[in-house]
Structure formats: structure tokens, C-alpha cells
Amino acid sequence: MTATYRQPGVVLTDRRFTVPLDHNDPTGETIELYAREVVAGEKAQQNLPWLVYLQGGPGFGANRFVGRPAWLGRALKEFRVLLLDQRGTGHSTPANRQTLPLRGGPAEQADYLTHFRADSIVRDCEAIRPRLTGGAPWTVLGQSFGGFCAVNYLSTAPEGLAAAVITGGLPSLDAHADDVYRAAHPRIERKVAAHYARYPQDVERARRIADHLLHHEVTLPNGYRLTVEAFQSLGILLGGGEGSHRLHFLLEEAFVRTPNGPALSDAFQEEVQSLLSYAGHPLYALVHEATYGQDARPTNWSAERVRTEFPQFDAAKALAGDGPLLFTGESIHPWMFETDPALRPLRETAELLAARTDWTPLYDSARLAANEVPVAAAVYHDDMYVDTAHSLGTARSIRGLRTWITDEFEHDGVRAGGPRVLDRLLALARDEA
């Protein structure tokens, strides 16, 4: 059953699809996918080509746009757009602390979650594409993890693609999670240094907050235990175009005077819990490192292990000296399944996923080398989330791929850049630029 309604300038249609949980067992258990179709109001009756948007993540539902913001306005000039809630997210069959116990215990939950990587998402797309396009190929726009999905699409079902455009999402074809995080820490350190150069007053502010957390137990209003490691993880903000400014405004209102002395302000705690909680996107924490699993090597809490190779990120050591506290970036750690009430019931499930040794390859180098699909990718210079060297290595491995390398944007350039990023990538894919 579909529902069609309007927002300013656009016509929206809710669409639902039933797909196999395991595409290798098409007669087995099924799950539901939700997607929102968007078309310009003045083009609603036209026969337009389709563009499907693959959201970053993993574990996030598609953007909930109002009207035609960011890249969407450019896409609607010529496409009918499908905003897909990838399996387990948004209005698709959910996977979280409330629903996963329906699977059984942690072992059954972990087995279930092996079907929530890029390969399954691409097969979902191929299952629903004929129902919408009549069999015609469509264009995909892959942001961040959505770009990982797009590269899997090129590897496994290129016949379904008219073109692919990728923003901040060219993955290494063969790097283990350890390689990804070893490459990430120097980038994160540079982003933190740039933040402190812009806002030198934040050096002392961050040290003061970290010192407070080392000596006080702080539980946020939602039950999240705010540790110094959790505070450091707010550095994930530094990967976005406005992230440094957002972090600065957060730090400047951290403390208030109380009858019992300085305390972390309610306003600070409220904002921090909204940034740190995984209640709205638990899949991100559960399968993030699994997105890098491609062989018999377990991920084994890669980010946590690799962090020990970079002692400058140790908060206690930083506070024992006079250097700045370093924030951390996009990484998942076992302590998150202790501090976050949305993740605590899933700790054993996460441990089992981290120990798995049966991950299958996500990318086909030979098929990518013979690629015939028009592809263009924005590679953001010194992207905090995706390593530039890894991305450029993959770009060289995909036949015909054209890159736009820029330092004008951070990882969220497709949003922050309005229509310009998508416009340029479409022109590159079409040999018009």
C-alpha cells in the first residue's frame, strides 16, 4: 500500500517492499524495506529516470528532507529520487535492543546481523529496482558508507546501474580494519590541531572537562555514563564542515557554578547525550567494523586495539603533562556497550560479531578493472572519515572512474555544498566536465 502527499515543491510517495533476509535463501525469512519517493511537483506526471540515494552510516535511515535542500534540488531537476531506508534502519524492519531479542540470544542476533552489510543492501536494491523502473538501470548516489555500497554494486550488479556518483565513500578494496584505523589516527590528530589553532581557548576547556571526568562519575540524564573516553569521542564532529564550530560552542558552556562547586551544566549534558547516544542508530555501533571484514581475520575491536599504538590519545597522560587533550574520531569501542544504555543489552552480540572469522569479500577487483558504468567520485582531501590514499588507490582500480579531489569541503560536502557537488559529479560521469 502506498501513500502520496505533498511538501513545498515536491510530491512524496511512501513505498514498502518485502525482500529476503538472506538473498541466498529467497524462499526463507523476509524483512520489510521502506523508501520515500521524491519528485518535483511540476514533474510528478513525467516519466523520469531514477536516482537512488544510499545514505552514509552504516545504520542510518535516509535523510528526512523538507522541500528541496542540499543535493536534492539538483537531483530533482532530472530524476525521480528514491530515499532508501537501508535494512534495519528508519521505517524498514528495525534492528535494535528492543527488537533483536526476537531473534533469540546473542548468537542468533549476531548471525542475523551478518546480513546487514553492503552486499545485502545492494541485493535489496536489485530486488526492488525492477518494480520501480520496469527493469531499466538507475543512477546511485552513495554518500560515505553509501559509497562503499556503490562500489559493491559495481562489483556485483553493474548491469543495474546507469551511473554511479560517490561522495566521500571510496573504500579500500582490501584493507583490514586495522589498516583503516592506523591510517585514521594521524588524520584525526591533524583535525584536532586545526581546531585548537582556530580556537586556542578550547585547549584549556577540554583539559578541564577531561580532568573533571577523570575524578567524578557523571551520568547523563538518559543514563549514559560520561567517561573521559566518551568525551574524547566528540571529536567525530571535526569531520564535518561546521564541526569545529559546533565543538567550540559546546565546550564554552560546559561548566556552571553550583553550591557544591563547578559542575557540568545541564545544557552541556543535554547536548552531549544527543551526540553520543546510539539509541537512534544502534546498527552503526554493531556492524561498523564489520563493514571492513572481508576474510577470515576477525575485526576483534580493531579501533580499540589500534588506539594503543598512539599513546598521545591517552587522556591521563595528556593531563599529566601540559599538552592538549586529543579528541578521537569515527570509531567504535567495547566501552560504548557499557556506557550507552541503548547498547548495553547488545554487548555480547557485539563481541560475537567482533570475533567472527567468516566474512566474505565485498569487492571484486577484476570486475572493477573491467568496469563500463560511468562513475565519478568526490574525494575530500584529508577527509577525517575515509582515508584519501585508500580512496585514490581504489579510484585507480575502477576503470573509467573520474575523481574530483577537493579541500573545499569536509566529509559532509554533498550536504554542505548544496547542488554544486552533485552537479559536478554528474557532469564528470557524463564527460561534460
Active site residues: 144, 358, 411
- Counting Cβ atoms within 10 Å, is residue 200 exposed (0-12), middle (13-18) or buried (19+)? exposed
Residue 33 pairs in a beta bridge with: 17
Give the contacts of 404 (CB within 8 A, at least 6 positions apart).
376, 377, 378, 379, 424, 425, 428
| Residue at 37: amino acid letter | E
> Helix 201-215 crosses helix 177-198 at what angle (to 10 degrees)?
120
Type of residue numbered 165 = V
Residue with cell 501513500: 3
Angle at 35 between CA 31 and CA 41, to 5 degrees: 160
Backbone dihedral angles phi then psi of residue 230, each to the nearest 5 degrees: -65, -40
Residue 429: C-alpha distances to residues 165, 173, 329 (Å):
7, 21, 31
Number of H helices, E strands in the chain: 18, 11
* Three-state DSSP class for residue 159: helix
Q: Give which of 378, 285, 350 is closest to 109, Cα–Cα.
A: 350
Distance CA 273, CA 265 (A): 12
